Chain A
Amino acid sequence: MKRHKWMVAIVMLSLLVVFACQSGPGTNYGAAGLATGQPGMNTYPSADPGETSVLPRAYAGAPPVVPHSVVGLVIDRTTNDCLDCHLEGDEVAEGHVATAVPPSHFVNEHTGARTSDGVTGVRYNCLQCHVPQAEVAGVPTGKK
Chain B
Amino acid sequence: MKPLSRRDFIRQCACTLLVSGSGIYLNPFESFAGNPETDLVWDKAPCRFCGTGCSVMVGVSGGKIMAVKGDPESSVNQGTLCVKGYALPFIQYGTDRLTVPLIRMRNGRYDKRGKLEKASWDDALDLMATMAKRAIEEKGPAAVSMFGSGQWTIWEGYAAAKLWKGGLRSNSLEVNARHCMASAVAGFMTTFGMDEPMGTYEDFDHCDAFILWGANTAEMHPILHSKMTNRLLASTGARLVNLTTMSTRSSEVAEKEIIFKPQSDLAIANGIANLLIQKGQINEKFLSKHALFKKGRENIGYGLEDKSVFKEKAEVIEFDAFKESVAHYTPERVAEISGVSPADLEYLAGIYGDPNIKVMSFWTMGVNQHTRGTWMNNLINNLHLLTGKISEPGNHPYSLTGQPSACGTCREVGTFTHRLPADMVVGNSKHREVAEKIWGLPAGTIPDKPTYHAVEMVRALDRGDVKFFWSTTANPFQDYANLNRYRDGALKEGRFVVVSDVYPTRSTEVADIVLPTAMWVEKEGSFGNAERRTHFWKQMVDAPGESRSDLWQIIEFAKRMGHGKLFEYPATDYAIPAGHKASDASVTAGFYMEKALWEEYRKFGLGHAHDLTPFDRYHETRGLRWPVVDGKETLIRYREGYDPYVEKGRGFQFYGNKKQDDRATIWFRPYEDPPEMPDAKYPLWLCTGRVMEHWHSGTMTRRVKNLARAYPHATATLHPDDAARLGFKNGDKVRIASRRGHVDLHVEIGGRVTPQKGMVYVPWFDEDVMINNVTLDAFCPISKQTDYKKCAVSIARVA
Contacts and interface: CB of A to CB of B under 8 A. Distances in A.
Interface in A18-77: 18-19, 22-23, 27, 29-42, 56-63, 65, 71, 74-77
B504 A33 contact: yes
B692 interface: yes
Given A34-B698, A90-B1, A29 B16 contact: no
Contacts of B709: 65, 133-134, 136, 139
Given A33-B699, A37-B768, A61-B69, A19 B100 contact: yes
A42 B14 contact: no
Nearest to B544: A22
Given A109-B78, A124-B226, A142-B503, A40 B712 contact: yes
**Size class of the A contact interface (CB-based, 8 Å):** 35 or more
B677 interface: no
A144 B95 contact: yes
Interface of A: 18-19, 22-23, 27, 29-42, 56-63, 65, 71, 74-77, 88-91, 99-104, 107, 109-110, 120-125, 127-134, 136, 138-144
Contact of B253 (A77, A90, A104, A107): A77
Interface in B743-799: 743-746, 748, 750-751, 766-769
B715 A41 contact: yes
Interface in B66-118: 66-69, 78-83, 86-87, 89-90, 94-97, 99-100, 102, 115-116, 118
A121 B231 CA distance: 7
A128 to B, nearest CB: 4
A31 to B, nearest CB: 7
Nearest to A37: B768
Interface in B209-268: 218, 222-223, 225-227, 229-234, 249, 252-253
A76 B80 CA distance: 20
A121 B509 contact: no
A125 B229 contact: yes
A101 B746 CA distance: 36
Interface in B1-23: 1, 3-4, 9-10, 12-14, 16-17, 20-23
Contacts of A129: 81-83, 86
B90 A60 contact: no
B94 A142 contact: yes
B382 to A, nearest CB: 30
20 contacts: A33-B699, A35-B768, A36-B768, A39-B766, A40-B712, A41-B748, A57-B26, A60-B25, A65-B709, A74-B252, A89-B9, A101-B13, A103-B10, A110-B78, A125-B229, A129-B81, A134-B712, A136-B709, A140-B708, A144-B96
A33 B218 CA distance: 29
Contact of A42 (B36, B78, B711): B711
Looking at chain A's contact residues, the main secondary structure is loop
A128 B216 CA distance: 13
Contact of A30 (B79, B115, B692, B748): B115
Contacts of B230: 109, 120-122, 124
B333 interface: no
Contact of B90 (A23, A58, A123, A143): A58
Nearest to B225: A125
Given A35-B506, A39-B715, A109-B230, 15 more contacts: A18-B545, A23-B118, A32-B767, A33-B96, A34-B703, A59-B27, A59-B67, A122-B223, A124-B226, A124-B229, A125-B222, A131-B711, A139-B712, A141-B705, A142-B95
Q: Which of B26, B508, B704, B768 has the most CB of A within 10 A?
A: B768
A41 B232 contact: no
Contacts of A59: 24-27, 36, 66-67, 89
B710 A38 contact: no
Given A29-B102, A133-B706, A89 B78 contact: no
Contacts of B431: none
A91 B66 CA distance: 32
Given A33-B505, A58-B26, A122-B227, A102 B232 contact: no
Contacts of B710: 65, 131-134
B465 to A, nearest CB: 27
Smallest CB-CB A-B distances: 4 pairs: A121-B230, A40-B713, A33-B504, A142-B703
A100 B10 CA distance: 10
A29 B768 CA distance: 16
Nearest to A39: B745
Contacts of B581: none
B4 to A, nearest CB: 5
B514 interface: yes
Contacts of B702: 34, 140-142
B99 A122 contact: no
A32 B708 CA distance: 16
B202 to A, nearest CB: 11
B693 interface: yes
A38 to B, nearest CB: 6
Given A61-B36, A124-B230, A39 B746 contact: yes
B614 interface: no
Nearest to B250: A125
A128 B222 contact: yes
A144 B1 CA distance: 47
A75 B252 contact: yes
A123 to B, nearest CB: 7
Contacts of B253: 75-77, 125
B714 interface: yes
Contacts of A122: 78, 80, 223, 226-227, 229-230
B733 interface: yes
B210 to A, nearest CB: 13
B95 A60 contact: no
B731 interface: yes
A60 B545 contact: no
